[in-house]
Amino acid sequence: MPLKLTTTTRYVLLVIVIIIGLHSILSFTHEDYSRATSLKHIASQLSWGSSSHDQVPDEYYVPDSASALPDTLLSRRANATLLMLARNADVDNAVRSVRRLEDRFNKKFGYPWVFLNEEPFSDEFKTRVSNVINGEVTFGLVPREHWYQPDWIDEDRAKAGREKMVADNIIYGGSVSYRNMCRFNSGFFYRHPLLEQYKWYWRVEPDVHFHCDIDFDPFLFMEDHNKTYAFTITMYEFRATIPTLWDGVKEFVRAHPEYIARDNAMGYMSDDGGNSYNLCHFWSNFEIANMEFWRGEAYSKFFEFLDRKGGFYYERWGDAPVHSIAAALFQSKEQIHFFDEIGYEHNPYTHCPKGEGAWARGRCGCDPKRSFDYDGYSCMRQWDRIWD
């Protein structure tokens, strides 16, 4: 029998439905509003004024309720991968780093991982690492010609260089494999077939820590703000590892003035207008960057030029100063970004967000008082001064 309602009953029901509807809309708006205002409040407490410490805007943050994969996977994603170079013997520490970044960031965003090694990864490495990753993961082999010391390097000269560094107690001074790694990270990783499809990478090393929730997508932030290279820690390089690097840089710049950006970050790396290098560099064990920059003409020529000098083997040039110098010279300083929000530790240094808002919002476990930023060995002052 069809349900018959009097006009009055219909009217009452309609009013009830409207009231329920209005209430849910209003309470949602209210919650939303109070969240937004408390975030604004937090943001207003931040002390950073200069653009060198720009905070990631609210719209890049993902609310907790949208965290489950895959159905709530964000509609906008960057063409990006998380990247780790590691040896089989690094497996315990590799697993630790992956767990930490998955927990603090990637369980929400689901970016794929790529692992590279110049030796085939063991079954144990692949099984244990895959076990702590939800999403896609691939394991790749570095081609021989991207890794080992080239034949045209004079081994007698290289050996003499290593022995001198051992005698002088320079860290990794006697290691050929460390030099292979630095050269690979300087000029080859972004040409690996597994990375060719990607534009962005986030470099992760075994046994690093992520001390805060990273509820925003750093790749999208960088893409939208025309950033190319991002860091969390900057410090001095050991001069003994790069005695002739800056001479090479100056020679390259004289030959190719067309690659130097007008609004570059030279003032961060040099205290005398480019005559000498003050050893400041971005610590490259953490890097989020656009590989198109490394693949581009300026950097390709730069790397080729430096590689031909042989300094990766005759000295012990690190990928950190090589990347940093290129990033600082061949593009505007605005394209380099300092991520204050990303609490990060690689023994022995930690970056802990100092802005009170960022620290609370990220539920950071680190001690801001012990952040490396303005430690005596840090180059943050040199970074800051170019924004005055």
Please report, as ranges, the residues that interact with Mn ion according to CB under 5 A: 205, 285
- Shortest approach of Mn ion to residue 70 CB, angstroms? 32
**DSSP characters for 184-236?**
HHHHTGGGSTTTTT-SEEEE--TT-EE-S---B-HHHHHHHTT--EEES-EEE
Angstrom CA distances, 176 to 119, 147, 154, 163, 310, stand at 16, 11, 13, 11, 13
* Count of chain residues binding ligand GDP (CB under 6 A): 12
Q: State in angstroms the smallest separation of the CB of 91 from ligand GDP.
A: 10
**Between residues 173 and 267, which has the closer beta carbon with respect to Mn ion?**
173
Answer yes or no whether residue 290 interacts with ligand GDP by CB under 6 A: no
3-state secondary structure 301-327: HHHHHHHHHCHHHHCCCCHHHHHHHHH
Residue with smaller CB distance to Mn ion, 315 or 345: 345
CB 388 to ligand GDP: min, Å: 32
Q: Is 206 in the site for ligand GDP (CB under 6 A)?
A: yes
> Could you tell me the two tokens for 195?
């990375």
Chain residue at closest Cβ approach to Mn ion: 205
Among 55, 90, 307, 327, binds ligand GDP (CB under 6 A): 90
Contact segment (CB under 6 A) with ligand GDP among 81-89, 162-170, 332-340, 351-359 equals 81-89
**Backbone angles phi and psi of 61, in degrees to 5:** -90, 145
Instruction: State the helix-helix crossing angle for 245-255 and 297-309, rounded to 10 degrees.
Output: 130
CB of 212 to ligand GDP, least distance (A): 21
For ligand GDP, give the closer residue by CB, 86 or 101: 86
Check binding of 181 to ligand GDP (CB under 6 A). yes
Contact present, 55 and 358 (Cβ < 8 Å): yes
Q: Report if residue 85 touches ligand GDP, rule: CB under 6 A.
A: yes
Distances (CA, A) of 110 to 129, 175, 177: 15, 36, 32
Q: Tell how strand 336-338 and strand 234-236 pair up.
A: unpaired
285 is a contact residue toward ligand GDP (CB under 6 A): yes
Residues facing residue 338 across a β-bridge: 231
For ligand GDP, which residue of 86, 214, 222, 364 counts as binding (CB under 6 A)? Answer: 86
Q: Is the peptide bond before 348 cis (omega within 30 degrees of 0)?
A: yes
Indicate which of Mn ion, ligand GDP, none lies near residue 329 (CB less than 5 to 8 Å, by partner kind). Answer: none
Site for ligand GDP in 103-122 (CB under 6 A): 117-118
118 vs 334, which CB is nearer to ligand GDP?
Answer: 118
Residue 42 binding ligand GDP, by CB under 6 A:
no
Residue number, 78 or 233, with CB nearest to Mn ion:
233
What burial letters (b/e) apply to 61-82, b meaning 16+ CB within 10 Å? beeeeeeeeeeeeeeeebebbb
Q: Which of 60, 87, 99, 223 binds ligand GDP (CB under 6 A)?
A: 87
Residues with catalytic roles? 287
- Taking CB under 6 A as the binding criterion, the range among 41-49, 173-181, 212-220, 258-266 that sits at the site for ligand GDP is 173-181
Three-state SS for 290? strand
Cα–Cα–Cα angle for 153, 154, 159, rounded to 5 degrees: 105
Nearest residue (CB) to Mn ion, 106 versus 285: 285
| CA 373 – CA 122 distance, rounded (Å) | 38
The CB-of-148 to Mn ion minimum distance in angstroms stands at: 21
Using alpha carbons, select from 56, 62, 29 the residue that is nearest to residue 43: 56
CB 269 within 8 A of CB 324: yes
CB of 161 to Mn ion, least distance (A): 22
177 contacts ligand GDP (rule: CB under 6 A) = yes
> Closest CB to ligand GDP among 104 and 316?
316
Which of 123, 70, 127, 129 minimizes the C-alpha distance to 99? Answer: 129
Say which entry of Mn ion, ligand GDP, none residue 279 contacts (CB below 5 to 8 A, set by partner kind). Answer: none
Q: Which does 58 bind (CB under 5 to 8 A by kind): ligand GDP, Mn ion, none?
A: none
Interaction site with ligand GDP (CB under 6 A): 85-87, 90, 117-118, 177-178, 181, 205-206, 285
